[in-house]
Structure 1
Amino acid sequence: MSLADKVLAVNNDLPIRTDKPIHSGKVRSVYWLTEADSRRLIREKGYPVAEDAPLAVMVISDRISAFDCIWRGEGGMQGVPGKGAALNTIANHWFKLFRENGLAESHILDIPHPLVWIVQKARPVMVEAIARQYITGSMWRAYSKGEREFCGIQLPDGLDKDQKLPELLITPSTKGILRGIPGVPEADDVNVTRADLENNFEAFNFSSKGDIDLYEKLLKEGFDLISGELAQLDQIFVDTKFEFGYVTDNKGEEKLIYMDEVGTPDSSRIWDGEAYRNGEVVEKSKEGFRQALLSYFPDPDILLNKDRMEEREALARDNELPASMLMDLSETYIAIAERIVGHKLNISDNPKAELLEVLKRDYGLVD
């Protein structure tokens, strides 16, 4: 069986018992469990949450999103083989180290299968928490055109592309479209300043102004831990995006926790250390795929210019990419995952049947 046959592209059609609509994002689908099943699993599995906490099964797919579009390849390839397993494996590894090192918890309660998390409901903070250690990507594009202020932070003149920054920068952006915040455009993914967060903390879903300090602390702690671990593998942690939310624990206390995934090649840039010392950037993340897309299409401005979103969506809808582009990304994801965790990944021959069997046999969630 070829790797292409192992792709889990559609993950919102699984017969997991739920009485609510299935939420399907770009990559993950969320199945909210019935109240009875949530209470049963909390009791049977001993999850450290309130007995009435809503739980969900979160299933990752192998779909590939870049420039806010889903891409596919020739020959019926609807995703990147091994991508979901690689991302979950890496995120699970970092979350485990976070716990062992006394950092905040995550929303993940259980990992029944490499493509599946059981999570507790969290109230998300409406901020994409972005940390940057190097000037590259969108920040470099803006800097090279003369911009010097990013999220209220002033950068010095004279920086070079891909240079290490004087300090770790926190450059948050909005998560979703937020309305009625002075000075913040009503659009997804727009940069905001720390002053924006402080002056409108409730609009961003923070419980208190002090939690802005806490989210920055957790972001820096998480970044530093991952950066240090990757440095031991001679890999550079360039920049990343974290997400945060609030949960209530089994003592009734509200806590700020990590949400979604952390430190994966989907949400971060990772560079090869030896190549960088030799003056070359070798991407070990999705950025390589983004660059390949920019080279593949004759008018890359369509992918970079948000005003051309309709054209961009048409590109993704009407074009099958060469299979080699998706397979190159598959090799990148699997290789960096295996390097991080120190063992080979088990890529399932039939991920859908396998995960359903586990959820039926061990969790009683499939009829």
Structure 2
Amino acid sequence: MSAAAQVLAVNDDLPIRTSGPVHSGKVRSVYWLSPTDSQRLIRQEGYNVAPDASLAVMVISDRLSAFDCIWHAEDGMRGVPGKGAALNAISNHWFGLFREQGLADSHILDIPHPLVWIVQKARPVMIEAIARQYITGSMWRAYEAGEREFCGIAMPDGLHRDQRLPELLITPSTKGILRGIPGVPEADDVNIQRDDIINNAAAFNFASTGDVDRYEQLLREGFDVISDALAQLDQVFVDTKFEFGYVTDASGQDKLIYMDEVGTPDSSRIWDGPSYREGNVVENSKEHFRQALLHHVPDPDVLLNKTRMTERLALASNNALPLELMMQVSEVYRGIAERVTGKPLPLGDDPRAEIIDALSDRYQLIE
């Protein structure tokens, strides 16, 4: 069995019975179930959701996205072996710790297969909630260029690249294009200040201004849970992105939950602790691939300059990366997943067939 055969590159054409078109993102595809199937599963599995809640099957792929492009390698390798399973396993682990420690629930109701979640539809908060414990990446580049205020937070002079910050910074940005909010540009991924959110809580889909405090509390507590657990593995939790939303439980109670994914190599920077103490940054996250890609391409500006997006897309589509580079990414993702969960990462020989089998008898969701 070749490594390429173990990769699930296409995840939006499975014969899952749906109520409409499949929503396919860069990595995950979402199959929204019909009201009949949603209500049947709620009764059958006893999910703690409203009886009329909308459910979906969310299938993660092994595709590798970076710099807003999907990358492939030689020998027909259309993704990274084990990447999807690693992301799901890590998120499942952190979501479980959050529940155990009384923080909040997630959108995940069931895990039929390592690449599959059954989720409930949430009403998303329109914020990319970013938390930073170290100054690096885009924040460092802006700081080095003289910027001293980030999302309304003043930063002192004299900081050094990759230095631990005096306190955890929350630097939110918009999720999607929001219109009609004073002082907030109508564009995706725009940095915003806390006052922007407080003064326009409803526009960001918060149920109340008090829930702005609640989201910040869940962000800080979630970051601390992951950071403390990684520290026990001698890994450094550098920065991350959280997403939040609202759901209604079986008793009719609305609650703020974690959604999307948390603490993964895709959504976070994770550094090797011993290397960092020696003055070197060794990435155990997607940043490892980004940096390798910048060194691999002839003109790194194509990847960094948003005005050259057409060239970038062509570069990703028309050029197969060295197989070794893709397998290095596999080692990073699988390695950190097994360290976090303390378990071997399951890798099937035919993920597509296994997913169909997992959703057939018990869940009866295959057409």
How high is the TM-score relative to the length of structure 1?
0.98
**What is the aligned partner in structure 2 of residue 307 from structure 1?**
307
Please give the alpha-carbon distance, in whole angstroms, between the structure 2 residues aligned to 1:99 and 1:21.
32
**What is the aligned partner in structure 2 of residue 68 from structure 1?**
68
**What is the aligned partner in structure 1 of residue 103 from structure 2?**
103
Alignment of 1:285-364 (within 5 A): 285-364=285-364
Unaligned runs of 5+ in 1: none
Q: Note closer, same or farther for the CA distance 1:306–1:185 as it changes in structure 2 (3 Å cut).
A: farther
* SS of equivalent residue, structure 2 residue 90: helix
**What is the aligned partner in structure 1 of residue 193 from structure 2?**
193
**Alpha-carbon offset, residue 298 of structure 1:** 2.3
Q: How many residues align?
A: 367
* SS of equivalent residue, structure 1 residue 73: coil
* SS of equivalent residue, structure 2 residue 72: strand
Residues 172-203 of structure 1 deviation map (CA, whole Å, 9 limit, x = unaligned): 11111222222222221111111111122122
**What is the aligned partner in structure 2 of residue 166 from structure 1?**
166
**What is the aligned partner in structure 2 of residue 178 from structure 1?**
178
Letter in 2 for 1:279: G
**Identity score, percent:** 73
**Alpha-carbon offset, residue 330 of structure 1:** 0.4
**What is the aligned partner in structure 1 of residue 219 from structure 2?**
219
Please give the alpha-carbon distance, in whole angstroms, between the structure 2 residues aligned to 1:68 and 1:213.
32
Please give the alpha-carbon distance, in whole angstroms, between the structure 2 residues aligned to 1:189 and 1:62.
25
* SS of equivalent residue, structure 1 residue 220: helix
- Worse-superposed segment, 292-301 or 221-230: 292-301
* SS of equivalent residue, structure 1 residue 76: coil
**Alpha-carbon offset, residue 19 of structure 1:** 1.9
* SS of equivalent residue, structure 2 residue 360: helix
Please give the alpha-carbon distance, in whole angstroms, between the structure 2 residues aligned to 1:198 and 1:316.
40
Please give the alpha-carbon distance, in whole angstroms, between the structure 2 residues aligned to 1:210 and 1:237.
28
* SS of equivalent residue, structure 1 residue 228: helix
**Alpha-carbon offset, residue 4 of structure 1:** 2.1
**What is the aligned partner in structure 2 of residue 118 from structure 1?**
118
Please give the alpha-carbon distance, in whole angstroms, between the structure 1 residues aligned to 2:341 and 2:192.
35
After superposition, the CA RMSD in angstroms is: 0.9
2:7 matches 1:7: yes
* SS of equivalent residue, structure 1 residue 14: coil
**What is the aligned partner in structure 1 of residue 204 from structure 2?**
204
**Alpha-carbon offset, residue 289 of structure 1:** 0.3
* SS of equivalent residue, structure 1 residue 360: coil
Residues 223-264 of structure 1 deviation map (CA, whole Å, 9 limit, x = unaligned): 000000000000000000010001011111111100011001
Letter in 1 for 2:180: G
Please give the alpha-carbon distance, in whole angstroms, between the structure 1 residues aligned to 2:308 and 2:203.
29
Letter in 2 for 1:56: A
**Alpha-carbon offset, residue 308 of structure 1:** 2.2
**Alpha-carbon offset, residue 348 of structure 1:** 0.7
**What is the aligned partner in structure 2 of residue 236 from structure 1?**
236
Please give the alpha-carbon distance, in whole angstroms, between the structure 1 residues aligned to 2:313 and 2:212.
35
Please give the alpha-carbon distance, in whole angstroms, between the structure 1 residues aligned to 2:290 and 2:177.
24
**What is the aligned partner in structure 1 of residue 87 from structure 2?**
87
- Worse-superposed segment, 116-125 or 178-187: 178-187
Please give the alpha-carbon distance, in whole angstroms, between the structure 1 residues aligned to 2:125 and 2:318.
35
* SS of equivalent residue, structure 2 residue 110: strand
- Worse-superposed segment, 313-322 or 28-37: 313-322
Please give the alpha-carbon distance, in whole angstroms, between the structure 2 residues aligned to 1:45 and 1:98.
22
Unaligned runs of 5+ in 2: none
